[in-house]
Amino acid sequence: MKNQPLLFASVVAGTLAFLAAGCILGSDPDKPSMIFGAPGGQTGSGGTNGTAGNGAGGSSLDMVAGMALATFDTTTESFSFSTYSETPNLAVNNNGTAPTMTWDSADASPSGGGSLKITAPYSGANQYVDIQSPSFPATMLRNWSGGKLHVRVKVDTGSTFAGQIEPYADTTANFTFVGTSFNATGGGVWHDYIVPLDTAMTRNSGYDLKQVILFGVHIGSGSAGMNQGPATFHIDTFAIEGIAAATDDAGGDTGATTDAATGN
């Protein structure tokens, strides 16, 4: 595999240190500096954080900006965890307590419908869960040039979490990453995290926003999370803003089928 998920890092210096680590980030030009995509035919990327920005909490969370991609009104919409096999990925290395993803009808943003409920069994620094959409069919890749990717995330009341939230899109059949990490914002409140894709913090060599193959959000404890314990999150309303409907084949909630491969 050329494209692999990485660990979260909370500062640029941390990211640079990881870049020197070889087996984690390596020098493979196909690997992103923040999130690795996956080879064609497999599910998409996990991620890591460089310098984190601030999570942008929208003032009108009762409205959806742009075109909804996934609203989880009645199901999980076939979203899944990235299962790339590396130590920091809690979906595959979790000491017997795996992360869970369920549909929750009791909590949503905007209100009504439902959302994804994620439990993540963090037990230290640089651990992550990566929640991703099904891949779009190869003949129906999306054109998101000029677009802003939105996702709403809530750290549940009772969970202490000081890591990072990283919305992203993988592009082309090589699953080349584009995304930005944000410091997680306050527990118990929904926040809209927004990535202007054309100027995202990380845009890996070979990315093409005219060929988006999947999207998702990576949630990691970060390099400073030595004392991070288990946490619960809700995720809702992926949306793309600032593109003409004619440039995107989606036309609403994604109906793409899930890739048969289980690895990323």
pLDDT attached to residue 61? 85
**Residue 16 phi, psi (nearest 5):** -65, -35
What are the strands, taking DSSP E only, across 86-225?
100-104, 115-120, 128-132, 148-155, 164-171, 176-179, 182-183, 191-196, 202-203, 212-220
Answer yes or no: is 263 within a domain: no
pTM of the shown model: 0.76
- Strand pairing class (164-171; 212-220): antiparallel
- The Cβ of residue 24 has, within 10 Å, a number of other Cβ atoms equal to 19
Residue 87 domain-assigned? yes
pLDDT score recorded for residue 59: 41
Residue 6 lies in a domain: no
Looking at the structure of the chain, the number of domains it has is: 1
CA distances from 250 to 144, 178, 214, 253 (A): 11, 19, 12, 7
- The per-residue pLDDT for 145 is 97
The answer as to whether 183 is a domain residue is: yes
In a domain, 4, yes or no: no
| 205 within a domain of the structure (yes/no) | yes
Whether 258 is covered by a domain: the verdict is: no
Other Cβ atoms less than 10 A from the Cβ of 23: the count is 7
Cα–Cα distance for residue pair 48/35, rounded to 1 Å: 5
CB atoms under 10 Å from CB of 198, counted, come to 14
* Alpha carbon 166 to chain centroid, angstroms: 5
In a domain, 262, yes or no: no
Give the structural domain span for 108.
12-247
Domain CATH code at residue 83: 2.60.120.260
Are the CB atoms for 87 and 186 separated by under 8 Å? Answer: no
In order along its 264 residues, the chain shows pLDDT tens digits of 334 333 333 333 333 333 333 232 222 222 333 333 333 333 445 444 444 555 444 446 888 999 999 999 999 999 999 998 899 999 999 999 999 999 999 999 999 899 999 999 999 999 999 999 999 999 999 999 999 999 999 999 999 999 999 999 999 999 999 999 999 988 799 999 999 999 999 999 999 999 999 999 999 999 999 999 999 999 999 999 999 776 675 444 443 333 322 233
pLDDT of residue 246: 62
